[in-house]
Structure 1
Amino acid sequence: LRQAGLSVVMTDIAEPRALRRAVSFATAIYEGSVTVEGVEARRAASAEEAWALLRRGCIPVLVDPECRILQEQHPEVLVDAILAKRNIGTRIDWAPLVIGIGPGFTAGADVHAVVETQRGHHLGRIIYEGSAAANTGIPGAVLGYTRERVLWAPAAGTLRGGLPIGSRVEAGQAVAEVDGQPVTATLSGVLRGLMHDGLRVEAGEKIGDVDPRGVREYCFTIGDKARAIGGGVLEAILHARAGHWWGQAL
């Protein structure tokens, strides 16, 4: 969206749980700043700082899980990309255009449009009536691997000692630990995603993934799924601005 010339402000929780941290603007919450494919994001402490960062061409990222910034500012578009698989509070009247990402939203009820997130023929498609496909609980296949490529927390506790994103790992190798119990890769490849060190996790929770293709570059560039979803959001915004689907342009 930023590359298309739109001004983007992001909000997140105080301890983001993104897996693909190398290509997530949420990383700015931990590190102060992050650059993804030439686009820089910086943590902002206030709405005033956010607007200053926008003027500099950065994406500001605010710790604002309740999205209280809406009480001060009134954006044209609000995108709920929490990916909670359910709507945890977003309302259709929060902005002239409200877009929900993935299952849990109903276009025309709690959002104006939904973008499909399930891999396959309809990935990135805009839904103007109804909902996205239900969550299958099965990770997308990479070289035929689904659940095998995912790293799961072996116990409840604190995630520690994770290898750097992009590290080469072998099947059976420990890539991190949770309260002393190893988080073990079940196949060989590169460590594409892993939650931030120090986060509290639950037993059986998805905390990372290994890419069996073994191409380190893929860890630091946006994947096909995220790019398709982003394209769907951009299409929905441009469609609305042209006034094609609810009567008035933004």
Structure 2
Amino acid sequence: MNKVYASAAEALKGVVKDGQLLAVGGFGLCGIPEALIAALRDSGAKNLTAISNNAGVDGFGLGQLLETRQIKKMISSYVGENKEFERQYLAGELELEFTPQGTLAEKLRAGGAGIPAFFTRTGVGTIVAEGKETREFDGQLYVMERALVPDVALVKAHVADKSGNLVFRRTARNFNPACAMAGKITIVEVEQIVETGALDPDAIHLPGIYVHRIVLNATPEKRIEKRLTRPAA
């Protein structure tokens, strides 16, 4: 199966629809799938629920989709830098499921691992636990959190081979792997694509079984780092 698409718009075609649950990788302004977010904006899809650690900033990252009012709900852990996010939430125009950062990461990881729910002490006794099941283990109270399984995951990686095996670069290896694992359909934006077999297996951060579509977003002069490739025979 060919996983490589000619553009971000082509990679989203037939996949993204109104009302979907989306996971978007990135942390702050690092590791954001910028081309895929722009294509999602241009697609006009609306009433989206977005899972993301944060929503970028005004006019950048998911901030673009807030400005076009394509997002109806955010599931996130940090909202402090996006003024439009703040304005919409305080005005009652945007739903927010505020989730502790570690819990958010684990909800995605659990979704990718096929685990429907888990118990954590984080949030016990706070509004985070309201309406959720609690249970005592070894004298401590825990709250049950449901896993997240988004319809589509949009991810940024450094390098992919044509089978979808991924290498992430430095701090972009944050929520991106968890989002990729959790998505029913995972679309990855990369800086370079190499032939299957070119990556050293020990350098692969995420196997291609989780990846359905790949799109290149790079300048021509970018080259794969030597340490990621197999040694010469």
Task: Please identify which structure carries the higher helix content.
Answer: 2
TM-score by length of 2: 0.30
TM-score by length of 1: 0.29
